[in-house]
Amino acid sequence: FCTLVKILCVSGWLQPCDLPSPQFTRDTLKGHSRPESSSRSAFLDQRDTLWMRSAGAWRDAGLYGLLDEITNSAEEVPRFLAVGSACVLALLRWASSFHGSLFPHLTLSSDEMVAEFSQMLDWSDSALRSFAWHPHTDKFAVALLDDSIRIYKSNSSATPTLKHRCQRSVCALQWKPLCGSALAVACQSCLLIWHVDPTSLSTRPSSGCAQVLSHPGHSPITSIAWSPTGSLLVSASPVDTAMMVWDVAAESAVPLQRVGGGGVTYLSWSPDGSRLLAATPSALFRVWETRMWTCERWPCLKGSCQVRKLRKLSITVFELMYAFIYFFKLTFFSQTSWDPRGERLAVLLKGDSQAVNHPSVIAVFKTRSSPVFELLPCGFVMGEAGAEPRFMQFHPHFQHGALLTVCWSDGRISHVPFYFSSAGLLGGDSPQQALASNTADHSSNKLYTEQIS
């Protein structure tokens, strides 16, 4: 099965058309020197009144901070208050540590959590934080270490830079489908929707162009997904068991809560918009159907029994695709990307950071979905010496085949074209449309559990 047909070693890049391939180094981008809370040590300690300190603690760190402050200033407050708050604090800590032992990711700090669940490998160390192609035009957005976002277009030298006060620790980017301008940004504390006028020549759009969407308890946001029709945006946070379905124009959200799993880390719509995959930090994921928004749980049992069970269910290709991608992602692949025609599958194999010649590498497979699902190894994509792939995405509408864009560890973004003529679809419609038509009539298309029962 694992015969390598061709090894595609890319050293001198074959650049298709004139897509910009910028490079960013860590030195030129200055990240935040220190978070706000740690800047306190730079100032002299000043004794405020207890009220002021309590108010400050409440504002900075919420209930925890307030209780902590009261406990620490035991000599100024009545004894029963100090003892009471110490007890409550201990109780809270015990409860949260119990909760954390159930879901270990909850003990991480916000930044660590973003790094853990980001699609970008080695997120905290990378100069590139996130990357997104526009679904319809030759335009992409890159989030950088210094929390700015740059937008590159083909045939244009103008690269707008987006900066916003709330734009911290960008974890995901996605352009709105069926729209020329809107870009959703998942930040540490909120969700930003930038409206970047494609015709404007300005290089620094003001922060007035951004909508800030936030919901209490819903941060950090690690994954966002626009519905393929562009009408809804779904966001997920590993600390929130609810995922938010946003009506962006109205700035209102409908929380969809399901207990279990401890949060939602990754979201992905099916190409026809009828299903939504929501992965949790634990061994569980859900598939939502998007007509009435009901879901079913798929526990990820180890190994092949699940795959066998899937095969028995005669499910559609899309679902098999997702199941497949998800299982392998859980085991040893860190990232998979399917080209929009459904003919190439790129898999990012995570290397071993301890071993010397065991770098991360991208393996490319040829896929075919009809008459039976086939997966043929096609080759590897490797970078320059010392550069490892961190993120990859297929260009959404490359004319002559498929175009894989890779973000490397040295801060370079490069484009790897695959020239081929579509095998089974000369003159036919694309497999994605075929996939879409499989699941077009949702009313007759039930969830799998309903099908078996």
Partner 1 sequence: MFSLKQNSWFIRKVVIWRAVASIAWSVLLLPVTAAVFVLLSRFSLFHPIQWISDCTSLLAASSTVFSLVVLCGVVLITGFFNLEFYTLVPAIPCSRMALLGTVLHPRQCVHSLVYCTMGMLVMWCASVTIGGRYSTLGTPCRQSESGEVVTCLNEYHLFILLAGAFMGYSHSFLGVVQNMYYVSFQPIQQYKYPRFKGCLPMVVKCSVIQALYSARNFAAFYFFFGYAPKTWISSTLNLQIDSSIQPLDSLTGLLDFSLLYHLSISGTFLYLTWYLTVLLFRICVTEAYSFPVQSTFTEDAEQSLPKVLAEKNTLVMKFLALQDLALLSHHSLSRRLEVFSLSQPGGHAHNWNAISRECLSLLSELTQRLVAHQDAVASNGRVKSQSASSDTRSASSSSSVVSGTEDIAETPRLSVPLRTPGSVFKSSVGGANNALTAPFTPDVNSPFSSPAIRRLVGQQDRQSPCFGTEQSPHIMRRGPKLWSASTESQSSGSPPASPATVPSPPAASQKPSFLAQWLQNRREQLPEASSQALFADSQAHIWALQGLSHLVAASFSEDQFGVVQTTLPNVLSCLVVLLEAVDRHFKLPHASSKPVRTICSMGDSTYKTLRFALRAALKTAIYKITTTFGEHLNAVNISTEHRKRLQQFLEFKD
Tokens of 438: 């499989």
Least spacing, CB of residue 90 vs partner 1, in Å: 19
Residue choice 18, 251, 296, 450 for contact with partner 1 (CB under 8 A): 251
Contact between 247 and partner 1 by CB under 8 A: the answer reads: yes
Q: β-pairing, 8-9 with 374-382?
A: parallel
Window contacting partner 1 (CB under 8 A); options: 228-236, 312-320, 359-367, 372-380: 228-236
Largest CA distance in the chain: 83
Residue choice 229, 331, 370, 451 for contact with partner 1 (CB under 8 A): 229
Residue choice 15, 154, 252, 331 for contact with partner 1 (CB under 8 A): 252
Look at the chain and count its residues: 453
Least spacing, CB of residue 348 vs partner 1, in Å: 29
Contact between 372 and partner 1 by CB under 8 A: the answer reads: no
Residue choice 184, 196, 248, 321 for contact with partner 1 (CB under 8 A): 248
Contact between 199 and partner 1 by CB under 8 A: the answer reads: yes
Residue choice 88, 179, 313, 447 for contact with partner 1 (CB under 8 A): 179
Q: β-pairing, 275-279 with 333-338?
A: unpaired
Amino acid code (one letter) for 214: S
Query: Residue 19 contacts by C-beta under 8 Å, 6 or more apart in sequence?
Result: 138, 152, 154, 415
3-state secondary structure of 450: helix
Cα–Cα dist 322/310, whole Å? 11
Residue choice 77, 236, 256, 378 for contact with partner 1 (CB under 8 A): 256
Tokens of 185: 């940004």
Residue choice 180, 351, 377, 396 for contact with partner 1 (CB under 8 A): 180
Tokens of 286: 């859900």
Contact between 296 and partner 1 by CB under 8 A: the answer reads: no
Cα–Cα dist 56/43, whole Å? 15
Contact between 91 and partner 1 by CB under 8 A: the answer reads: no
Residue choice 92, 254, 283, 452 for contact with partner 1 (CB under 8 A): 254
Contact between 39 and partner 1 by CB under 8 A: the answer reads: no
Q: Are 393 and 117 in contact (CB under 8 A)?
A: no
Least spacing, CB of residue 411 vs partner 1, in Å: 28
Tokens of 206: 């003001």
DSSP string, 306-346: HHHHHHHTT--HHHHHHHHHHHHHHHTEEEEEE-TTSSEEE
| 92-151 positions binding partner 1, by CB under 8 A | 134, 136-137
Residue choice 21, 73, 231, 430 for contact with partner 1 (CB under 8 A): 231
Contact between 201 and partner 1 by CB under 8 A: the answer reads: no
Q: Which is nearer to partner 1, 93 or 136 (CB)?
A: 136
Cα–Cα dist 64/80, whole Å? 18
Q: Which is nearer to partner 1, 165 or 302 (CB)?
A: 165
Least spacing, CB of residue 254 vs partner 1, in Å: 6
Q: Which is nearer to partner 1, 73 or 268 (CB)?
A: 268
Residue with tokens 């945006």, as numbered in its chain: 233
Tokens of 202: 């300005």
Cis peptide before 417 (omega within 30 of 0): no
Least spacing, CB of residue 221 vs partner 1, in Å: 19
Q: Which of 345, 346, 335, 331 is nearest to 390 (CA)?
A: 335
Window contacting partner 1 (CB under 8 A); options: 1-9, 99-107, 227-235, 409-417: 227-235
Q: Which is nearer to partner 1, 28 or 437 (CB)?
A: 437
Least spacing, CB of residue 1 vs partner 1, in Å: 37
Amino acid code (one letter) for 19: L
Contact between 206 and partner 1 by CB under 8 A: the answer reads: no
3-state secondary structure of 27: coil
Q: Which is nearer to partner 1, 56 or 230 (CB)?
A: 230
HSE of 12, CA atoms in CB hemisphere, 13 A: 0
Cα–Cα dist 52/57, whole Å? 9
Residues that bind partner 1 (CB under 8 A): 134, 136-137, 178-181, 198-199, 229-232, 245, 247-252, 254-257, 274, 290-294, 440-444
